[in-house]
């Protein structure tokens, strides 16, 4: 494989190459990992993927993929490829059920949290492709180090590290793996399921909803359509507060509100991203007691699913979370 990018030169690249060559020579083979999906698509190569840091050309079907980005693992697995290693970003280290089912008995290596990359550990896996598309802290400097280890595909040009849209992220990964048609199938299947859920829940259509997170009650962040949580509400037919969609907010993922400004959220339902499924928003802010909207804490797998925002996780949320939202709107 060969990659062509806008590279910086000098000590950084030399160091990265040294890390890659020395670590790759001693890598251990993870048990039970087979990338049959990628191998079956050899005729699709070479492929060139444009991204934020230039372009990467992948000359043959990858057999040892490392997943870096938040949500990249889901997309890779859904395209019938099991990576040799991945950064999950999950605090408990356990894969969610929609991912675990696709991994099966294979044992890819969990590399830990996406915010702290261990380049030597990545290189030790001897990857022939690194996927670093969504939700990572990968900047140009860290991209150069990764790309010196193996051809690396980053987020689409013009997108932020944590704000790669669902469709663009899926297409970026499927193109890199030589399976663009399969990527489109994932998106089409999700769209059909969303349409089916909207038809089955007419009580949700046009109702006013919001998804919010707070860390200590001193400020509230309302997710916009640019974020997966806001986009999920719109996908099931809910309408976000007008102020959340204000054009002047541009590409921001959320709107910050003070505790005194939360009245703009009132409507039919407000989802609170919480660690505790019994979280009480009123305990943090008595103003919520005046709301007509149902206040719905969303924790655990439901929170993880809409935060991750992949075809597989959103499909899970459509089955698991939508019935709770529909019940909340009817109350």
Cα gap 209→137, rounded to integer Å: 30
Predicted confidence (pLDDT) per residue in 251-308, tens digit:
899 999 999 999 999 999 999 999 999 999 999 999 999 999 999 999 999 999 999 9
Predicted confidence (pLDDT) per residue in 158-186, tens digit:
888 778 999 999 999 999 999 999 999 99
Straight-line distance from the first to the last Cα atom of the chain, in angstroms, rounded to the nearest whole number: 57
Cβ atoms of 103 and 73 within 8 Å: the answer is no
Burial of 137 (0-12, 13-18, 19+ CB in 10 A): middle
Task: Give which of 173, 181, 193, 179 is closest to 130, Cα–Cα.
Answer: 173
Task: Give which of 142, 127, 151, 148 is closest to 17, Cα–Cα.
Answer: 148
pLDDT exceeds cutoff 50 at 155: yes
Cα gap 282→262, rounded to integer Å: 12
């Amino acid at each position: 494989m060969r990659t062509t990018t806008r590279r910086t030169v000098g000590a950084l690249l030399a160091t990265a190459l040294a890390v890659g060559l020395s670590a790759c020579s001693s890598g251990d083979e993870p048990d039970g990992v087979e990338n049959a999906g990628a191998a079956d698509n050899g005729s699709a190569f070479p492929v060139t993927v444009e991204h934020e840091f230039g372009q990467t050309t992948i000359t043959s079907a990858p057999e040892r993929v490392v997943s870096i980005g938040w949500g990249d693992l889901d997309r890779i697995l859904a395209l019938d490829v099991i990576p040799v290693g991945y950064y999950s970003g999950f605090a408990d280290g356990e894969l969610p059920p929609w991912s675990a089912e696709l991994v099966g008995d294979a044992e890819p290596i969990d590399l830990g949290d996406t915010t702290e990359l261990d380049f030597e550990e990545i290189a030790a896996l001897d990857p022939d492709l690194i996927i670093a598309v969504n939700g990572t802290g990968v900047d140009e400097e860290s991209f150069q180090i990764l790309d010196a280890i193996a051809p690396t595909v980053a987020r689409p040009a013009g997108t932020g590290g944590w704000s790669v849209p669902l469709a663009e992220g899926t297409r970026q990964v499927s193109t890199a793996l030589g399976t663009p048609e399969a990527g489109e199938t994932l998106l089409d299947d999700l769209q059909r399921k969303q349409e089916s859920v909207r038809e089955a829940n007419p009580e949700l259509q046009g109702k006013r909803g919001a998804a919010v997170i707070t860390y200590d009650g001193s400020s509230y962040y309302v997710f916009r359509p640019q974020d997966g949580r806001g986009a999920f509400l719109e996908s099931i037919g809910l309408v976000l507060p007008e102020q959340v969609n204000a054009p002047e907010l541009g590409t921001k993922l959320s709107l910050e509100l003070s505790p005194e400004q939360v009245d703009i959220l009132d409507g039919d339902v407000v989802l609170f991203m919480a660690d505790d499924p019994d979280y009480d928003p009123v305990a943090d802010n008595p103003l919520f007691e005046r709301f007509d909207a149902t206040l719905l804490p969303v924790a655990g797998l439901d929170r993880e699913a809409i935060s991750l925002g992949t075809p597989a996780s959103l499909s899970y949320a459509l089955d698991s979370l939508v019935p709770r939202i529909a019940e909340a709107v009817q109350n």
